[in-house]
Structure 1
Amino acid sequence: MNSSQMIKMDDAPLSKFHIKMAALTFGAHFTDGYVLGIIGIAFTLIKPQMNLDPLWTGLIGSSALIGLFLGSLILGYISDFIGRQKIFVFSFILITLASFLQFFADTPAQLLLLRILIGIGMGGDYSVGHTMLAEFSPKKHRGVLLGSFSVIWTFGYVASTLIGTYLLSIGPDAWRYMLASSAIPAVVILLLRMGTPESPRWLINKGRIDEARNIVKKYLGPNIVLDDETPVKKTQGSFAQLFSKDMRKRTVFNCLFFVCLVIPYFAIYTFLPAILESMGLSENFGTDLLLNGLLVVGALLGIWCTIKYSRRGFLISSFIILAVTLFLLTVLPEGATTLMILVFAIFTLIMSAVSNLVGVFPAESFPTEVRSSGVGLATSFSRFGSAIGTFLLPIGIDSFGIHPTMLALTGVLVVGTLVSIAWAPETKNLSLSEASDMQKTA
């Protein structure tokens, strides 16, 4: 075959294998949305049956997020040493087993431990799943594939609500079936992930060039070749490297923009009915039904924006719109119901749309040797922030009122705007093999 017929991985056409890898990654996000959604309905039965006090309720409610924080940090770091594929499979072994064992939990401590383990598995998958998908995907389609996960997450969350509501009729032990049901999508994904190949980019960095070539030919086609066969010189993935002089800016950017988006997202939409009531919109607005529908529409809109616009421009303009609309919701008088509904709708659409970028920027920002560590650190930082924000929001509303609390969240979005203007790189047409030079053009 002539060299002119050879195509680099980054320029390869979209194939069935790319779609399979995307489906396996999306399946993980469906499971994540399902796990985080089902606990809310299950709590209506668990709390009286286990006599949970507010402390245990809070601990169990945040347990999966605690696990996500740990899993993203630890398993993402480990995968840069032992390989992506091992963690890609291990994470769902852990999720499947811990999900099933929830059926047999008899104490709050047992349930807490199992949900932390589920979160650890999901955290590891966030860092490694995005990394695997990014390292296999051609750059033309990478943004769409990485950014589409928020749509699937929403479907998982909605599915948990429907199934949980249906299972309530079983009786007081229905919570066991609800929580254990997350093992069903998890085991399907686990079985499909068996036999998936290692990332060629990771193999190159370990000097295993022949293995990388064979994987590319087998799964992507005989005319597809590696972008770059030069390993990074004696470099091991490490958190120290993420904060080295040439990489610290992109590391801090990915952590901060991510957390500045998820703090208001999780805080507002976790307690949406209470917020709408505080703002005098609960009777006039279709409560969270309408806004949840707008979240789905916004997620689809985000895919289109990721294709059409630059990453940097999309992020900065979204942060500005979010900060302005949330500020308006804070200062508008309660009588301006129609205007408040319109502003909240815009806020919801843009927040959901730009959330696509949390799956794109981290995976595209870091070089191969620390990509999982970088994605894991950004994800971990975001989950820690979302847990803190979700915990503090009801306290803030109770202590200071809805308007000062929303103003504080507006401040978070302003910080995100400034960070993005100062440090957001443009990664839309960047080859992953060029990521190590990105700080020169950021």
Structure 2
Amino acid sequence: MSVLKRSVEDAPLNGFHRKLAVYSSGGPFLDGYVLSIIGVAMVQISGALQLTAFWEGLIAASALIGVFLGGFLGGWFTDKYGRKILYLVDLIAIVGFSVAQFWVESAWALFAWRLLIGIAVGADYPIATSLLAEFLPRKHRGPLLAAMVLMWFAGAAVAYLVGELLLSVVTEDGWRWVLASAVVPGALFLIARSGTPESPRWLLNKGRTAEADAVIKKVYGPTYSIADLPEPTKERSVSVWSLFHSGYGKRMAFITLFWTCAIVPLFAIYAFAPKVLLALKLTGDWASYGSIAITFLFTLGCFVATKLINRMGRRQMLIHSFLWSGIALLLLGMFPDASPTTVLLLFGTYAVMIGGAQVLEYVYPNELFPTEIRASAVGLATSLSRIGAAVGTYLIPISLTSLGIANTMFAAALISLFGALISWWLAPETSTLDLQQASSLSGNTRASY
């Protein structure tokens, strides 16, 4: 009895897919790790290198600046030279730059190495997510791409644990070991990634048909071939400049706007949670445990969103995520003198509900652009989102001082509700489409383009 063979888009999830999902999460994990580890080490660094306030701020922001620079550059190189080679070279760079921090003797040198680490980490977002998206069957693409967001929080948590442990054990120059510790997870992900094949979609797009066919047979089985991979439709000439005009320009505007609306309040509140809670009159144990609880709820929100992403659909999840998180922030602004329980309940609601928008930051950019410019689109979105993160983080303490907590919450609510409006206007539904259909301008994505 013969068995009907399905397209690779409908193939069952296999061991290769699961391993690739874990290996690809290295970028978000290392992002959370390197951005958080500097906070643990900064107290010792300031004394050892005699840092001024200017250099403290610049070094703390250096990796974030690097992510901004590395996102688009990494995406462009990935689309031009392939996913596989950049997939390995980038992690080698992260490992090497992390080790180099151990021997720095000046503020300038530390800034330079952390800037380079940030560039490498930023480049890994488009490299890893585009490779993963191009291998995953449509049913599992959304959940597994979304789950990568959880790895940022995991990286941040591990950084705090490792940093505190090393500082307690190594009394002299412990900060050097703390900063260089990023080499361990970087090396582990590097070893795991070795042997990962090139994306057959990228190979096919470059005319390397035989290689693409060999990869498909290796990953999906000998009964599959390039005939089972949805063929690219050359609607028009597509280059990186397509991100700035015509149909793909509108999609890029949607990605940029919704990602910015999602990340500005979250990064700002996450970075200054104790200060924000203090402004809301939460002191003592309420403030300490409240910060921990909010961090946990951010993670919980992302986890729940990964489980619901196919059931709810991308569009409805994004709209509801912005809407209800925005209402929670609005209520915080309206009732800044509410009881501690009410304040934490509203903050918790925001933290859980914004998870839907957070996980879609990796899903939509990979689905809405074709193979030729997919990594470039993810990289550009990554870079632009860091502008919002930096601005929001910088303005929070100023806003709390000059505008007060109520108006600060109103501003954050306005950003989230604007995100809901943008999502209602522009967000497409792609959950039932294969990658070729979702990225095609003529595809039935039910978007208002």
The two structures have a TM-score, normalised by structure 1, of 0.95
| Displacement of 1:297 | 1.9
Q: Which moved more, 1:327-336 or 1:144-153?
A: 327-336
Tell me, in whole angstroms, the C-alpha distance in 1 between the residues paired with 2:235 and 2:368: 19
Mapped contact 1:247–1:439 kept (Cα < 8 A): no
What does residue 214 of structure 2 align with?
214
What does residue 142 of structure 2 align with?
143
Matched to 1:405, the amino acid is T
Tell me, in whole angstroms, the C-alpha distance in 2 between the residues paired with 1:236 and 1:314: 30
Tell me, in whole angstroms, the C-alpha distance in 2 between the residues paired with 1:246 and 1:287: 44
2:294 counterpart (287, 291, 296) = 291
Secondary structure in structure 2 of the residue aligned to 1:428: coil
Q: Which moved more, 1:132-141 or 1:282-291?
A: 282-291
What does residue 387 of structure 2 align with?
384
Secondary structure in structure 1 of the residue aligned to 2:432: coil
Q: Structure 2 matches for 1:268-307, cutoff 5 A?
A: 268-283=269-284, 284-285=286-287, 286-307=289-310
Mapped contact 2:71–2:383 kept (Cα < 8 A): yes
Tell me, in whole angstroms, the C-alpha distance in 1 between the residues paired with 2:97 and 2:123: 15
Matched to 2:11, the amino acid is A
Mapped contact 1:81–1:237 kept (Cα < 8 A): no
What does residue 200 of structure 2 align with?
200
Mapped contact 2:256–2:381 kept (Cα < 8 A): yes
What does residue 227 of structure 1 align with?
229
What does residue 331 of structure 1 align with?
334
| Displacement of 1:353 | 4.3
Q: Structure 2 matches for 1:26-425, cutoff 5 A?
A: 26-169=25-168, 170-225=170-225, 226-230=228-232, 232=234, 235=237, 237-238=239-240, 240-283=241-284, 284-285=286-287, 286-425=289-428
Change (3 A) 1:164 1:230: closer
Matched to 1:162, the amino acid is L
Instruction: Please tell me the root mean square deviation across aligned C-alpha atoms, in Å.
Output: 1.8
Secondary structure in structure 2 of the residue aligned to 1:14: coil
Tell me, in whole angstroms, the C-alpha distance in 2 between the residues paired with 1:234 and 1:257: 27
Change (3 A) 1:196 1:234: farther
Mapped contact 2:321–2:355 kept (Cα < 8 A): no
Tell me, in whole angstroms, the C-alpha distance in 2 between the residues paired with 1:254 and 1:282: 38
Q: Which moved more, 1:202-211 or 1:320-329?
A: 202-211
Mapped contact 1:67–1:120 kept (Cα < 8 A): yes
Matched to 2:446, the amino acid is T
Tell me, in whole angstroms, the C-alpha distance in 2 between the residues paired with 1:438 and 1:62: 41
Matched to 2:145, the amino acid is L
Q: Which moved more, 1:396-405 or 1:99-108?
A: 396-405
Tell me, in whole angstroms, the C-alpha distance in 2 between the residues paired with 1:159 and 1:45: 19
| Displacement of 1:402 | 2.0
Tell me, in whole angstroms, the C-alpha distance in 1 between the residues paired with 2:445 and 2:282: 48
Matched to 2:59, the amino acid is I
Matched to 1:249, the amino acid is K
| Displacement of 1:439 | 7.3
Mapped contact 1:81–1:236 kept (Cα < 8 A): no
Structure 1 unpaired stretches of 5+: none
> What CA deviation, in whole Å up to 9, does each residue of 1:336-380 have, x standing for no partner?
332222111111111234311111111111111110111111111
Change (3 A) 1:163 1:423: same
The two structures have a TM-score, normalised by structure 2, of 0.94
| Displacement of 1:54 | 1.9
Mapped contact 1:30–1:157 kept (Cα < 8 A): yes
Mapped contact 1:209–1:229 kept (Cα < 8 A): no
Tell me, in whole angstroms, the C-alpha distance in 2 between the residues paired with 1:34 and 1:415: 31
Matched to 2:130, the amino acid is T
Tell me, in whole angstroms, the C-alpha distance in 1 between the residues paired with 2:322 and 2:200: 35
Matched to 1:441, the amino acid is R
Matched to 2:79, the amino acid is D
Secondary structure in structure 1 of the residue aligned to 2:268: helix
Mapped contact 1:88–1:128 kept (Cα < 8 A): yes
Tell me, in whole angstroms, the C-alpha distance in 1 between the residues paired with 2:19 and 2:403: 49
Tell me, in whole angstroms, the C-alpha distance in 2 between the residues paired with 1:427 and 1:231: 18
Tell me, in whole angstroms, the C-alpha distance in 1 between the residues paired with 2:145 and 2:59: 30
| Displacement of 1:234 | 8.0
Matched to 1:202, the amino acid is W
Secondary structure in structure 2 of the residue aligned to 1:5: coil
Tell me, in whole angstroms, the C-alpha distance in 1 between the residues paired with 2:236 and 2:421: 36
| Displacement of 1:231 | 6.3
Mapped contact 1:70–1:123 kept (Cα < 8 A): yes
Change (3 A) 1:91 1:236: farther
> What CA deviation, in whole Å up to 9, does each residue of 1:145-195 have, x standing for no partner?
100012222111111111111112222411111110001110111122222
Tell me, in whole angstroms, the C-alpha distance in 2 between the residues paired with 1:167 and 1:206: 47
What is the aligned-residue identity percentage?
39
How many pairs align?
440
